[in-house]
């Protein structure tokens, strides 16, 4: 087994493949491209292009029942949406951390994520991070984020989401990181991108 010194678990990103869709924060989100031959609306690609090594992914398509069409208006395509979920579990002991540190010192665990203002809907991103016990199921602490977008004013940048777990109690052995992004399908496919995802155990704790 590699030593703590070799694994260097403190201060580094413990998530694998933090930018699976190839986007980086040093560049603005790419502008949507209109294809010459749009994809068939009845055959949406629910999984956006990317290299998802290290992530478990799933997609769920749904319709908004509250969409109302004014009388007399002819609609060729109704918008369709899907939630694209990416999740990853970090085994803190496998990454080089140890029981006494996690149970007694309880170092801060910092979460960070960035998502694209895709403008496809007012709800385009959700985050759920859980600190789990040794059985991989008991939830010791949890953070959930479900922001709402302002569609009245157009903006197309990266938006940051962050949270710090501190004084979370003994027994934490895993961090389960899950985020969802909403994609839309009408004539064109419009995806919401994520990048810069990170889970870091800091060599310090809040209040010291």
Span 172-181, pLDDT tens digits: 999 999 999 9
Beta strand 109-116 with 158-165 is antiparallel
Residue 75 has pLDDT above 90, yes or no: no
**Does residue 40 surpass a pLDDT of 60?**
no
pLDDT tens digits, one per residue of 83-140: 999 999 999 999 999 999 999 999 999 999 999 999 899 999 999 999 999 999 999 9
The Cα–Cα gap between 97 and 191 comes to: 36
When pLDDT is cut at 50, 70 and 90, the band that residue 47 belongs to is confident
Instruction: Give the pair of three-digit tokens for residue 176.
Output: 């389960």
pLDDT digits (tens, 9 = 90+) for 142-176: 999 999 999 998 899 999 999 999 999 999 999 99
> Could you please report the per-residue DSSP string of the chain?
---HHHH--BSS--SSSS-TTS--TTSPPPPP---SSPPPTTS--SS-SS--TT-EEEEEEE--TT----TT---S---EEEEEEEEEEEETTTTT--HHIIIII---EEEEEEEE---S-S--EEEEEEEE-TTS--EEEEEEE------SS---SEEEEEEEE-S--TT--EEEEEEEEEEEESSSEE---EEEEEEEE-SS-TT-
Residue 1 has pLDDT above 90, yes or no: no
- Token pair, residue 17, equals 């493949």
17-29 residue pLDDT tens: 999 999 999 999 9
Of all residues in the chain, what percent carry a pLDDT higher than 70?
Answer: 82
CA–centroid distance for 182 within its chain:
11
- pLDDT(46) > 80: no
pTM: 0.87
């Amino acid at each position: 087994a590699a030593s703590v010194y070799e694994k260097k678990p403190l201060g580094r990103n413990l998530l694998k493949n933090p930018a699976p869709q190839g986007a980086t924060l040093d560049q603005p989100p790419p502008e949507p491209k209109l294809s010459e031959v749009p994809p068939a609306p009845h055959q949406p690609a629910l999984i956006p292009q990317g290299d998802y090594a290290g992530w478990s992914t799933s997609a769920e398509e749904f319709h908004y029942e509250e969409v109302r069409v004014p009388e007399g208006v002819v609609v060729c395509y109704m918008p369709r949406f899907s939630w694209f979920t990416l999740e990853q579990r970090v085994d803190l002991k496998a990454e080089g951390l140890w029981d006494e540190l996690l149970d007694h010192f309880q170092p801060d665990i910092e979460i960070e994520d960035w998502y694209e203002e895709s403008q496809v809907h007012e709800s385009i991103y959700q985050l759920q991070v859980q600190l789990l016990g040794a059985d991989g199921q008991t939830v010791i602490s949890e953070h959930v984020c479900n922001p709402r977008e302002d569609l009245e004013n157009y903006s197309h940048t990266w938006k940051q989401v962050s949270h710090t777990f501190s004084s979370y109690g003994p027994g934490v052995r895993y961090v389960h990181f899950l985020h969802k992004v909403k994609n839309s399908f009408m004539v064109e496919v419009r995806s919401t991108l994520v990048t810069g995802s990170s889970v870091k155990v800091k060599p310090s704790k809040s209040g010291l």
